[in-house]
Amino acid sequence: MLELEVKLRDANESAEILRDQGVVPAIFYGPKENSTPVSIDSLKLERIWREAGETTIVRLKGVGEEKETLFHDVQIHPVTGKLLHADFYCLEKGKKIVLSVPLVFVNVAPAEKAGHIVVKTLHEVEIEVSPHDLPHNLPVDLSLLQDIGDHIMASQIPLPESASLITEPDEIIASVKIFEEEPEEVAPLPETEIIGEKKEGAETGTPSASGEEEKSAKGGPASGGKEERK
- 195 part of a folded domain: no
Do 7 and 62 share a domain, yes or no? yes
pLDDT of res. 4: 96
The string of pLDDT tens digits covering residues 164-212 is 999 999 999 999 998 776 666 666 766 666 655 555 544 445 454 444 4
The string of pLDDT tens digits covering residues 134-145 is 999 999 999 999
- 40 part of a folded domain: yes
pLDDT of res. 215: 47
Q: Identify the domain boundary among 71, 90, 109.
A: 90
The string of pLDDT tens digits covering residues 104-129 is 999 999 999 999 999 999 999 999 99
- 223 part of a folded domain: no
Do 83 and 108 share a domain, yes or no? no
Q: Identify the domain boundary among 90, 109, 134.
A: 90
pLDDT of res. 1: 85
Do 49 and 104 share a domain, yes or no? no
- 216 part of a folded domain: no
Cα pseudo-dihedral 209, 211, 212, 214, rounded to 10: 130
Do 79 and 6 share a domain, yes or no? yes
How far apart, in whole angstroms, are the C-alpha atoms of residue 170 and residue 17?
Answer: 50
- 200 part of a folded domain: no
Residue 68: name the closest of 39, 90, 52 by CA.
90
- Count of domains in the chain? 2
Which domain range does residue 48 map to? 2-90
Q: Residues 157, 138: contact at Cβ < 8 Å?
A: yes
Q: Identify the domain boundary among 63, 90, 117.
A: 90
Is the per-residue pLDDT at 214 higher than 90?
Answer: no
pLDDT band per the 50, 70, 90 thresholds, residue 11: confident
64: CATH: 2.40.240.10
How far apart, in whole angstroms, are the C-alpha atoms of residue 14 and residue 208?
Answer: 89
Is the per-residue pLDDT at 80 higher than 60?
Answer: yes
